[in-house]
Structure 1
Amino acid sequence: MKLNWGTGIVLAFVGFIGFILFFVVRMSLDDRSNHDLVTEDYYKKELVFQQDIDAMKKAKALSYPPRVEKTEAGMLIHFPENMSPEKIEGKVSLYRPSNKHLDFDLPISVSKPNLLIPDKRLLDGRWDMDVRWTYEGETYLLREHFTY
């Protein structure tokens, strides 16, 4: 059988379309590809976004702003020195963008102005951390992104 130009072009188009459809079907059925939203309560979190911005501004405006330091024992969160540690309440949320099963929350309960997140809880990779605390009725928020 002899092929002419028209038949060759049609076969090329059919081959290309088949190639693209193969990858579309493969990616939509693959268990490793997760197409969910980044967080479960994405839309709820968007409704309180302005409150988060205000809390971050308050944290940055402190005379001794909080900071995060990587140590051999883990991640050390330094709260402002002028705040009494017993009055600090809140939680630390650690979010792993690549695997939601690694996300966890820690309650803030400190007797010193520092909080240590143990090294064994943090696997290598990128982490997003939200430190939300209240002190004497005021809410503060520190957002950090780090690679461990």
Structure 2
Amino acid sequence: MKINWGTGLVIVLVLFIAFIMYFVIKISTDKKYDYDLVTEEYYKKEMVYQKEIDAEENSNLLEGSISGTKTPEGWMLTFPKNIDYSKIEGTVLLYRPSNKELDFQIPLKLSGPNLLIPEASLVAGRWNTIVRWTYEGKDYLYKNEIVY
């Protein structure tokens, strides 16, 4: 039996489509290739984005900014020295873009300029740090990516 070029072309196209469909189905059904959104309620968060911009601008107007350093005990966040720490309220959110099950949030209660995030809470890799805080009625926001 002789196959002409048109039949051969159709066979090659059908095999190529089957090959692509195999990988699409495998990736969409296999838990090993599971993916998560970075933010669950993306559109709701987008509606309050102007507040975040204002809070970041407030943070930039301070006489210093929050800084983070790696220590043997964990990750140390240092707040500006010219503010009264007892008046700060807020939260520290650490999330892993690669795995939302590792995300955690810490309430912000300071007695000094430093906040230690314990090493036991941090798995090696990239973390996004978001510090939302209020000081004397103004909102502040600090965002940073760290590699621990």
Separation (CA, whole Å) in 2 of partners of 1:134 and 1:51: 13
DSSP-derived class of the 1:63 partner: coil
Cα separation, partners in 2 of 1:72 and 1:99, compared to 1, 3 Å: same
| TM-aligned CA deviation for residue 35 of structure 1 | 4.6
Per-residue CA deviations over 1:59-106 (Å, capped at 9, x if unaligned) read 111012221112221111111111111111111000100000000000
Long gaps (5+) in structure 1: none
DSSP-derived class of the 1:134 partner: strand
Separation (CA, whole Å) in 1 of partners of 2:17 and 2:41: 38
Q: Which residue of 2 aligns with 1:140?
A: 140
1:46 lines up with 2:41 in the alignment: no
DSSP-derived class of the 1:131 partner: strand
Is the 2:36–2:100 Cα contact (8 Å) retained in structure 1?
Answer: no
Separation (CA, whole Å) in 1 of partners of 2:8 and 2:99: 46
Cα separation, partners in 2 of 1:117 and 1:32, compared to 1, 3 Å: same
1:14 lines up with 2:31 in the alignment: no
| TM-aligned CA deviation for residue 36 of structure 1 | 4.4
- 20-29 vs 116-125, which moves further: 20-29
Structure 2 letter corresponding to 1:16: F
Over aligned residue pairs, what C-alpha RMSD do you find? 1.3
Long gaps (5+) in structure 2: none
Separation (CA, whole Å) in 1 of partners of 2:6 and 2:65: 71
TM-score, length-normalised on structure 1? 0.93
**Equivalent residues, number:** 148
Q: Which residue of 2 aligns with 1:90?
A: 90
Separation (CA, whole Å) in 2 of partners of 1:134 and 1:74: 24
TM-score, length-normalised on structure 2? 0.93
Separation (CA, whole Å) in 2 of partners of 1:135 and 1:66: 14
Per-residue CA deviations over 1:106-129 (Å, capped at 9, x if unaligned) read 001111111000111110111111
| TM-aligned CA deviation for residue 28 of structure 1 | 1.7
Is the 2:127–2:145 Cα contact (8 Å) retained in structure 1?
Answer: yes
